[in-house]
Amino acid sequence: MSEKTKEPGVLGNLFKTFFAKHWPVWVGAIVLGTLNILLFAIKSPWGASGGINNWGENVYKLTGIFGLENATSTSTSFYGMLCVFLVIGSFIGALLSKEFALRIPPKGELIKGFIGGGLMAIGATFGIGCSIGSFYSGVPALSGGAIIFTIGMFIGVVLALRYLMWEMEKFPKFSSGKSYNFLSGTGKSGNWQIYLGWIVLIITFIIAYQYSGGNKIMAWFIIIGMFMGLISQRSRFCIVKAFRDPFMTGEADGSVGVMAGLVISVFGFTAIKYFGIGAGDIAVRAREMTWVFPHFFFRAAIGGFIFGLGMTVAGGCAVGTLWRVGEGQVKLWASALGFLLISPISKLYIVPPIVKALPQNFNFKNYLPDYLGYPGAVGLVLFIILIWYVFVKWNEKTGRFSAF
């Protein structure tokens, strides 16, 4: 007589709901959009490139080069810590689902990861933002420059995808070869990952508690960053997927998910800006202009284009790179390394002379409600999202622009 399999209890079933399989992208994107609204209400919206740049500045601070001895310590940088705990949150999600593994790709993929990360660094420093700061947060912030950045990023993705297809045809050996996989958590032998995941989760809350006495905002950034990483890992949330997949596989799930998060954020951000929520001693006008960067139009267009090239070559956007680092994808370790090493150099030496040569009207803050009012600005953003939705769903059905 065979032994009966023990049925999981209520808590076991709850655990399986979150960690037995991946979530739909739209679920993750909506939760991320909600957490982004919370971040804005507390201080300012979600961004990633600034935090990664802070990591790079602290690396150079240790070496004593580039005059970055006075760089803000990551432990006191809101976005530096947000990015740190986004990685840790992804690590926790991967452990609790027994999906963590050191995945080492062929040498060519590592090279592409590093180059892609470097391009993202240049794009982010020139365009004043990344796929998160200048797109996922910038568009809901009703920034005209964010829309230009998005268009540039879209063009960059399309051209980079064409390059990758050409590379596969002409130089198939560049990215092929032996790959390695270590520490994967399969079967009962992988239960150590679940135990470690709970330990890291508890440590995260302890660290947040330590900050809560003197810096409540940092404590919230730590907790929200951790949840953002966990949610991104469980839902496979990635901006490059949203822009790339309709043209590669025809799938629209990633795109629709990102759109859902944008719609939630648009309404939350608009309410915060319109009513001056969280302004405190800050003038209402300054609160309105939060996350509206002086990059309209040239800097946004070129920065977005370069960033789109980089994230497609790397295989992960700013947040996609970070959560993939947390689950052990070594190609994205190379991407993060390229990003953090090149970002301070670009910010100090590449971008300033170019910006200095630009006419003043090539880099100013464009706030859509100043021209269209709040109803017009929100309506324009929602209309653009609707057009995007109609296109990707039509393309998913017809395959007209897939694998071009």
How much is the pLDDT for 6? 64
Burial group, residue 188, by CB count within 10 angstroms (0-12, 13-18, 19+): exposed
| pLDDT of res. 2 | 46
pLDDT given for residue 10 in this prediction = 86
How confident is the chain (404 residues) per 10-residue block, as mean pLDDT?
62 88 95 97 96 98 92 97 98 96 96 98 97 97 97 96 93 89 81 96 97 94 98 96 92 95 97 86 84 94 98 96 97 98 97 90 90 98 97 94 73
Joined together, the tokens standing for residue 177 give 């070869």
* Parallel/antiparallel/unpaired status of strands 102-104 and 363-364: unpaired
Q: Are 252 and 245 in contact (CB under 8 A)?
A: yes
DSSP state of 365: -
| Residue 327 DSSP class | T
pLDDT the model gives residue 9: 83
Q: What is the spatial distance between Cα 40 and Cα 284, in angstroms, rounded to a whole number? A: 14
Whether residue 221 contacts residue 235, with contact meaning beta carbons closer than 8 Å, is answered with: no
Residue with tokens 């209890």: 9
Distance CA 37, CA 14 (A): 26
Element (H, E) at 103: strand 102-104
**pTM for the model:** 0.94
Give the pLDDT of residue 404: 58
